[in-house]
Amino acid sequence: MMVNENELSFLQKLDEMLKGFILSTLEFHELEEEREFDILPRGDQPETLKCRVELKCKQMDCPCYESQDYRCWLVAGTLCGGKPQGAFAQKYKSCFNCRIFRQFTDTTINSVYENIGIVIKHLGDKTKYIRELAIKDHLTGLYNRNYLGFIEGREIEAARRRSAPLSIIVFDLDNFKSVNDAYGHLTGDEILKAFGAFLQKQTRASDLLFRLGGDEFLLIMNGTDEPQCRFLERRLLEAVEEWNESGEKTIPVPLSFSLGSATTPDPRNFEELMEEADKKMYAHKQSKSERREGLKASA
C-alpha cells in the first residue's frame, strides 16, 4: 500500500509514541514513579486552529489555555475523564461530537493515530495511578512500607558507593492510642495527616519520608552525617512546639512525637540501622513518660 508524505509523517510519530510508552513502562524504577514520557506530539496542530476561539470558551473554562496542545480531551485527562470540560460542556455531549475533535480525525489514518494516542494516554494515567497505590500511603501521601522494601538496599549501596554517610530517623506519635480512644479514628487520621505534612515541611525534597504503618514514620537522609542528623532532631522538636502554638494547628490535641536516629559513615545493612534508631526512639519515649510521672508526683 502506498502512503503519501503526510501519512508517513503520522506513522513515524505514531511509532515514536508507541516506543515512548513502551520505554516508560520498561525503564520505571523506584525513584522514578513520577517520571512521564511525553507521548503527546506537540506543535503539529493546524496553525489556524484555536478551539477556544472557535467555540467561544472563556479562558478560565479551557483546560488547554496554558498548554501548547489543543487536545483538551487528553490535556484534561483521557477524553476529559468522560466529562466535557468548562464551557465546552454546554456545546457538546461528548468529545466525538466536537468539530475540533473531528478535525484531528478527519481521515482514517488520522483517526487511528489519534485513537492510539488516546489509548496510550489512558494506559499511562492508569499505570501512574496503580504505581501511586503501590508505593504511597493513601492517608498521608508519604511513601509506604512496600516502597521501603524496594529501596532500602539501594540507599545503603548508594551511600557506600559515594563514601557518604546515611542517616535515618524513626518517629512514633505520643499517646496516639489514647487520642484515638478519646476522639475517634477520624481525628486520629487528621493527626496522622498533620504530622505527615509537618515532616514534609521540615525536610528536604531529596529526603525520603515514609509512614510505616499506624503512627510510625521514617525519614531517610542519604549524605547526612551524625552532627547534621542530631541538629535536625533538635530542630524538629523545637519546630513542633512552635507549630502547636501557631494558627496552623487544626487538631484538638498538641502534636507530640518521640524520635530516634542512626547514622553510619560506612553503611551496614538497613535492619541494623532501624534497630539502633528504634532503641533510641523508645528510650526517648520512656524518658518523656518518666518526666511526666515525675511532674505529677511533685505536683
**Active-site positions?**
215
Residue reference for cell 483538551: 72
